[in-house]
Structure 1
Amino acid sequence: MDGAPGSKRQRTDGTLARASAREVPGTLPGTVAVEVAGVLPRHEVGQTFLVPGLVIREHFFTVPLDYNGSEATAGKTITIFAREVMAPARNESLPWLVYLQGGPGFEAPRMSEVSIWVRPAISSHRLLLLDQRGTGRSTPITTTNLPLRGGPEEQAEYLSYFRADSIIKDCEVVRRLLVPPTSFGGRWSVLGQSFGGFCATTYLSQAPAGLMEVLITGGLPPGISLPCSAETVYTALHKRVIAANHKYYDRFPNDVEQMQRIVKYLAEQPGGGATLPDGTLLTPRLLQTLGLSGLGSGGGFERLHYLLDGFFDAEGHMTPAFAKAFDAWHSWDSNPLYALVHEAIYCQGGEASNWAADRVRAQEPFASQFDAVAAAEEGRRVLFTGECVYRFMFEDLAPLRPLLPTADVLAARTEWGPLYDAKTLASNKVPTAALAYVEDLYVDFGLSQETASSIRGIKLWTTNEYRHSGIRDDGSRIFERLLGMARNVIFD
């Protein structure tokens, strides 16, 4: 698929589009640095330290901000940070595995011990936990430094460089600087969780020659043939989240009345909501967003129930404990990139997302079903919402308010480059195995099946044993099975 007007076509032959092909020795023996977009990437090895059962080594990479090398961004760079994770034996002859975190806009896990899925991973690979650009220590985007980029137009332009297409180009630079051509042909493996799976599919589309095998958990991207699949994605999501709500209330029937009481309490407050310590206005519609993580992950139902259970004090007022817990429930203040580019991750042609989640919710049959105040007054179940970023969140959430003009610019933007290449995926030769969760609240199962059918040779494991957090809940079994499928050891 061609990019938007004025954008450069991305190469899909396994190389990076670059201003020149000048190669110089890399930092590690046998590796090379290739000049990209007028920038010669650099690699620095940081400290090495121990945590129980693991050896951690830090890596820093200097890469171009804009891989298209436009005149406005020429020479501008950002830093990519990653942690190499090895078993105490430090078997450096193993192949590399780069882990792409879910999101968008979240950093890689910080290891304090050997987690469930890391244990088998480090027995077969040298694991690289990559902070995707804009997160963690990879030139992070924050609520304080983004406004320093200029006005809303300048901020939106800057944010356009922080999507999957740029992330996988970062991966290719890092691969060249870490993996010698003599080691497994210079290739490495990828494990992508959720949005990380979206990135892995982009990787298969745009630079497959660098890949040895690809594993995807809950992250087969939906609607990859559409110029912007956001509306399709959110239509399917609102249907799924209604079903998830009914499962929740069947589990905790007393919460029907509790939610009605809370919604009425909030609606009666001055301004239509309760003001939290950080200035956020907790409105009924914002309360509904607790479903984003409460309905879709392992243990989420229980956590949500306990949170609601502690809303009122003996006098019928909101408790400070609830206010504090609500503020900690999400990461809008620490990871604003998630909210800002959430709909943009579905755009790859000359079409804007145009606040797709809002448009879907405003239409029937969803408009009346998700009206929290009407539901409470009529004695109906108040429905939580799912993984949507609505425009009102930039009004109610204090950390996001200054960024509303920027979010509006991004919602109207049509100049998005391609993310997926149908022809490349149809002729895929990289061993690929994916796990799709039948009851996934974040990535629609039906839409993920359509994507799987377009990737040649993919081996697909479908199950209702887990929710979206399967890699966290039973990661050892999941990792080993997917690796076995990719390597043709397990037939599925």
Structure 2
Amino acid sequence: MQTISFFSIKLFFNLRPKQIRHLFIRSSLTTMKQQTPIAVEHVAGAWYSVPELRLRDHHFTVPLDYTPSQSRNNISLFAREVVAVGKENQDMPYLLYLQGGPGFESPRPTEASGWLSKACEEHRVILLDQRGTGLSTPVTTSSMLQMKSAQELVDYLKYFRADNIVKDAEFIRKHLVPNAGPWKVLGQSFGGFCGVTYLSFAPEGLKEVYLTGGIPPIGDGCTAKAVYKACIGPIITQNEKYYNRYPQDIEIIRDVVNYLQETEGGGVPLPSGGILTPRGLQLLGLTGLGSSTGFERLHYLFERVWDPVIVPGAKKQISYYFLNAFERWLSFDTNPLYALMHESIYCQGAASQWAAHRIRAEHENKLDAVKAAREGRPVFLTGEMVFPWMFDEIHALKPFKEAANLLAEKKDWPLLYNKTQLNKNTVPVAAAVYYEDMFVNFNLAMETAAEIAGIRLWVTNEYMHSGLRDGGGHVLDHLMGLLHGKKPLF
């Protein structure tokens, strides 16, 4: 059981009855002063408001490892319930939102807008911070330092994949949904991967599933290498599109690469203590090439790459503005779980062995930034890839290099998908498949879609991977229409 502080006990007794569910107390009140362990499985907060929405916070206590024979080392989960104003007490279906990642928390609503506004018209939306993110016992660069060894950290992080995220979702569903009925799930990107895991192992908890840019490869072993091999072509295409839109940036980025390579040590110090190298610079393609407005953000970032010369004869140098923006762009300091666990999301009973690094080596003639700059060619940026050298160059990741290597060599990953179950699926599923998605390869997504019985597909090149966010309520509305008769079968 999880031990809570005296402050938490005091807070518990100040809660109204409706805010407390499934409370288990090990000892009598006479032992409270000794801070006897107490486990509160679910505490619900009071309603509060942002423009046009009402929100309520939920905190859950769940096991790190759901295996019954294992010790009950607990973690906390946080989920935010969101409804349209005035609908707090209405009987509406529940919709669970699973965020992309891995390792990123759910959105923090500031107003009714976009897909959330559309969803709240008819649903109680549950914004789950997946385990290790946001307020769900977050895995941070500082909290991980509590681990005594790299192996201890790996033994902890192995529980932070889609299989346990689905078990968390089932735990929450049984506490929230009246009579523990099924709910709907909306999965964006990695959240869609979790949705397919959900369909594989707990379909009884599902009423409908919507996938947006989130159909995973489900082959045996580790599919990471196949994913990165398939994504090289789209990455090159996006680079070419970027330079066609901003041809002036060819020379700017080439000059930056030459400057970094010619600097002593092969790079310049970053504000946090890391180093910016030519290959590190290429990481900007992660979000700059694959999402809407990414091209524009990337271009405007490079507009301020150089410091102005305000003293005649001063040395040319990369601006602090750019170096600071570079680190904020990547988010590895705030969401390190992404870098540590990214390749493992593709693994079932096999190791990833730094798949992206191996695939990049096979295409170094196109992706070698230094060689391209010296030869006067455009420098191609990379996509959604994590490399071992990042744990040398990015300050926030340095303490976890050994753990990252252990994770890359780990073979005994449990299954994430069940093809037999997917083949006989009866849960209504609709998916938006983005034809030019740089993150989730179109061909691999279509192969998996063929394995999910009854799935309805909307294939479009109108949106990039970020279509759910960019399209207002249109993407969700279209998918709902596919399942509710507005878009009949052809």
Does the alignment reach a TM-score above 0.5?
Answer: yes
Q: Which runs of 5+ in 2 are unaligned?
A: 1-16, 25-37, 310-315
Q: Contact between 1:97 and 1:190, CA under 8 Å: does it hold in 2?
A: yes
* Alignment partner of 1:428 out of 425, 432, 456: 425
**1:93-127 CA deviation, whole Å, 9 max, x = no partner?**
00100000000000000001112111110111000
Task: State how far apart, in whole Å, the 1-side matches of 2:81 and 2:367 are.
Answer: 45
**1:318-376 CA deviation, whole Å, 9 max, x = no partner?**
11111111121111001000000000000012x1000000011111xx11111100100
Task: State how far apart, in whole Å, the 1-side matches of 2:184 and 2:41 are.
Answer: 22
C-alpha deviation, 1:70, in angstroms: 4.8
The 5 Å alignment of 1:207-226 reads 207-222=202-217, 224-226=218-220
Instruction: Report the equivalent of 2:74.
Output: 77
**1:101-157 CA deviation, whole Å, 9 max, x = no partner?**
000000000001112111110111000000000000000001111121221111011
**1:284-336 CA deviation, whole Å, 9 max, x = no partner?**
00000000000000100010011112111234311111111112111100100
Instruction: Report the equivalent of 2:260.
Output: 266
* Alignment partner of 1:103 out of 95, 101, 104: 101
Task: State how far apart, in whole Å, the 2-side matches of 1:384 and 1:371 are.
Answer: 10
The 5 Å alignment of 1:254-403 reads 254-315=248-309, 316-349=316-349, 351-363=350-362, 366-403=363-400
- Report how many aligned residue pairs link the two structures: 453
Task: State how far apart, in whole Å, the 1-side matches of 2:257 and 2:224 are.
Answer: 29
**1:55-92 CA deviation, whole Å, 9 max, x = no partner?**
01000011110012454xx1111101000001111253
Deviates more, 1:40-49 or 1:258-267: 40-49
Task: State how far apart, in whole Å, the 2-side matches of 1:362 and 1:177 are.
Answer: 48
CA shift in 2, pair 1:41/1:421, >3 Å: farther
Instruction: Report the equivalent of 1:168.
Output: 166
Q: Does 1:413 align with 2:410?
A: yes
Alpha-carbon RMSD = 1.8
* Alignment partner of 1:191 out of 186, 189, 198: 186
TM-score for both structures, normalised by structure 2: 0.90
1:197 maps to amino acid:
G
Higher Cα Rg, which structure: 2
* Alignment partner of 1:244 out of 223, 231, 238: 238
C-alpha deviation, 1:188, in angstroms: 0.5
The 5 Å alignment of 1:86-235 reads 86-90=83-87, 91-181=89-179, 186-222=181-217, 224-235=218-229
Identical-residue share of aligned pairs (%): 50
**1:448-492 CA deviation, whole Å, 9 max, x = no partner?**
000111000000000000001111111311111111212333225
1:130 maps to amino acid:
L
Q: Does 1:42 align with 2:36?
A: no
Q: Contact between 1:214 and 1:433, CA under 8 Å: does it hold in 2?
A: yes
Q: Contact between 2:22 and 2:41, CA under 8 Å: does it hold in 1?
A: no
**1:351-406 CA deviation, whole Å, 9 max, x = no partner?**
1000000011111xx11111100100000110000000111111110000111000
Instruction: Identify the structure with bigger relative contact order (alpha carbons < 8 Å, sequence gap 6+).
Output: 1
Q: Contact between 1:61 and 1:80, CA under 8 Å: does it hold in 2?
A: yes
**1:193-220 CA deviation, whole Å, 9 max, x = no partner?**
0000000000000100010000000000
C-alpha deviation, 1:41, in angstroms: 7.3
User: Match of 1:354, SS?
Assistant: coil
Stretches of 4+ moved more than 6 A in 1? 31-34
C-alpha deviation, 1:28, in angstroms: 7.0
2:290 maps to amino acid:
G
Q: Which runs of 5+ in 1 are unaligned?
A: 1-26
